Amino acid sequence: MSVPGKIVLALLAASLMASCSFFDKKKQGDAVAKAYDKYLYRSDIQGIVPPGTPANDSIEIVHRFIDNWIHRQVVLNQAESNLSPEQKDFGEQLEAYRNSLIVYGYESELIRQKLDTVVSQLQIQEFYDKNPQNFQLRENIVRVSYVKIPQASASLAPAKKATQLLKSGKAPDIDKLDELCQSSMLVCRLDDENWISFNDLQREIPITVDNQDNFLQNRSFFETSDSLYVYVVRIIDFKMKESLSPLSFETENIRNIIINRRKLELINQMEQEVFQKALENKDFQIF
């Protein structure tokens, strides 16, 4: 859509929008566009251009904003012209939406002030024990340690030593491996207490496995590589899809479930209390 001459002048002036002087009080009432009986003023587009934006980019941003505004007014006018007064009456919907926003705002403030967000490990354990059916794995998960060795260093002594230590898996050797990684170009993941999905592991290291079950049941140590690194991987433990998910893998999920339940309980308690108070005060009647 072509932009009228007045809008072009406004767009040229937009290069000065980053400065405070552009939108002085005398100019705030000036229109930069008109569609039917609606006007767009300079004050309406104040602030849409981030400070420091180059002049040409500022013009483009304002141009696009005005063009979008005109398109909206054209479509709105078309809709207004083709709907009956009854079809354009959204009073009930707007009132319902307003009421929902007010209640939501009150509930949010209530939760902010009164919700207990402290969840103990004992509470997490109890929830896990009582709801095993909720914690069936949807994918295979593993606990792994691996060493990421630059290709240029793969044949050097530190890399060979790292492979030996990782393959051993003994606690003293893993401590030595950690020290070796900190003092060399090796990158190590030795946090073997945490579970990770096998799919996520395949995104961390360059390995493609067609049959995960068979791979996990028959491999505890493997090497793979890409153009930059050699990856030496030790699978410490694994659990198959549809088996019971370990507690450590579900801890954060359980914590969120408990907190969400507390939110619902807090809101329900509030609703019951205010309803009872209104009932006692005879604040409502049923005819």
Which pLDDT tens digit goes with each residue over 92-110? 999 999 999 999 999 999 9
**Bigger pLDDT: 63 vs 5:** 63
Residue 28 has a pLDDT of 44
Question: Is the per-residue pLDDT at 6 higher than 80?
Answer: no
Please state, for a pLDDT cut of 90, what percent of the chain lies above it: 67
Rounded to 5 degrees, φ, ψ at 246 are: -65, 150
Question: Is the per-residue pLDDT at 20 higher than 70?
Answer: no
Residue 4 has a pLDDT of 44
Which pLDDT tens digit goes with each residue over 108-133? 999 999 999 999 999 999 999 999 99
Average pLDDT over every residue of 129-151: 94
Question: Is the per-residue pLDDT at 30 higher than 70?
Answer: yes
Residue 125 has a pLDDT of 97
Residue 29 has a pLDDT of 58
Q: Which amino acid is at 264?
A: L
Question: Is the per-residue pLDDT at 216 higher than 90?
Answer: yes
DSSP 4: P
- The strand pairing partners of 237, in sequence order, are 143
Residue 45 has a pLDDT of 87
Q: How far apart, in Å, are the Cα atoms of 104 and each of 25, 111, 170, 257? A: 37, 10, 55, 20
Q: What is the three-state SS of 89-141? A: CCHHHHHHHHHHHHHHHHHHHHHHHHCCCCCCHHHHHHHHHHCHHHCECCCCE
